[in-house]
Amino acid sequence: MSEHAVSIDVREIMRCLPHRYPFLLVDRVTELEANVRIKALKNVTINEPFFAGHFEQYPVMPGVLIIEALAQAAGILAIKSGGERKENELYFFVGIDNARFKRQVVPGDQLVFEVTQLTVKRGIGKYAARALVDGQVACEAEIMCARREV
């Protein structure tokens, strides 16, 4: 087990992120090293609302939702690195570069998100992110998140 192993459950995740069903896409955090990296999970089930239309006969998780889940994991890393999220503060997904999709994600898969902080300047963080299934890269991208008062 990693020296940075943690167990952050969905209730704690919901204290960090404002997202709720059906848009909360991170189920658990298993590793966290503040200002460095996070490892988190999403269990993909046939009950996900997007599978009804994407696609009925061949259910595939939309790539944009995998990217969103990576951004949520990056947001958790940013929030946990800075303490706690203030009541009037949100972290917005503001940029993506070099996104690539390597394999389909289907019901029954477990997505493992690995996000590493690259830089943080003036409240904007840049992260190297990848989503894996069974050790195979499903998606990788560079993601930017910005902390803003609302």
Q: Which residues form the catalytic set?
A: 54
Per-residue CA distances from 1 to 5, 31, 76, 81 (Å): 7, 10, 21, 21
Q: Which of helix, strand or coil describes residue 131?
A: strand
* CA 107/CA 127 separation, integer angstroms: 27
* CA 20/CA 38 separation, integer angstroms: 20
Structure tokens at 148: 């803003």
Instruction: Give the gyration radius of the chain's Cα atoms.
Output: 15
Per-residue CA distances from 145 to 18, 31, 95, 103, 142 (Å): 14, 20, 7, 25, 10
* Whether residue 55 has a cis bond before it, omega within 30° of 0: yes
